[in-house]
């Protein structure tokens, strides 16, 4: 019953946007996802690949596509294995212990600040390539969510 209500709500919310969208809107999304290899990764339940893809597309947030592409081409982006290695090293900052602890991290790349300034010099967040602090925070939050909530199986959790 609850699931039916959730789907009804989704249809109610999405219908107006999809009604206004061009007729090929969903087809373009499917085509782009297929070209990127997303359906294959989902079928294989390849969480690290899906994570890296999601972090890659998140780089376009708040900036032109050309600038995002140029920045990531020059500096790279953080990936699943980068964060896994950093977390496996046993960071000193308590906020990196779990998904629930991470709330309020407050890392700001431009200002070089965070909510735990005594740990900033040993923190892994500033060591990863990121155009801005919120993007690296999002990557860590997603990684911790997948690790702690999804048991490293994002597709299984969604299913």
pLDDT by residue (tens digit) across 106-123? Answer: 999 999 999 999 999 999
Angle, vertex CA 115, rays to CA 112 and CA 117, nearest 5: 60
**Quick count: other Cβ atoms within 10 Å of Cβ 22?**
8
Is residue 111 a contact partner of residue 120, using CB atoms and an 8 Å limit? Answer: no
Query: Nearest 5°: phi and psi at 49?
Result: -65, -45
pLDDT digits (tens, 9 = 90+) for 84-100: 999 999 999 999 999 99
CA distances from 62 to 82, 129, 132, 136, 140 (A): 24, 17, 10, 14, 19
Helices 80-88 and 133-148, axial angle in degrees (round to 10): 70
pLDDT digits (tens, 9 = 90+) for 33-59: 999 999 999 999 999 999 999 999 999
């Amino acid at each position: 019953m609850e699931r039916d209500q959730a789907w009804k709500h989704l249809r109610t919310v999405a219908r107006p946007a999809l009604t206004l969208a061009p007729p090929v809107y969903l087809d373009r999304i499917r085509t782009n996802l297929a070209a990127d290899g997303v359906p294959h990764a989902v079928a294989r339940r390849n969480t690290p690949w899906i994570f890296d893809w999601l972090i890659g597309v998140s780089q376009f947030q708040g900036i032109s596509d050309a600038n995002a592409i140029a920045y990531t081409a020059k500096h790279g982006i953080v990936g699943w294995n980068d964060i896994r290695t950093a977390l496996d090293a046993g960071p000193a900052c308590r906020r990196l212990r779990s998904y629930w602890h991470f709330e309020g991290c407050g890392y700001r790349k431009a200002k070089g600040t965070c909510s735990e300034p005594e740990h900033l010099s040993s923190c892994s967040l500033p060591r990863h390539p990121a155009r801005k602090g919120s993007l690296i925070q999002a990557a860590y939050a997603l990684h911790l969510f997948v690790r702690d909530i999804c048991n490293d199986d994002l597709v299984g959790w969604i299913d």
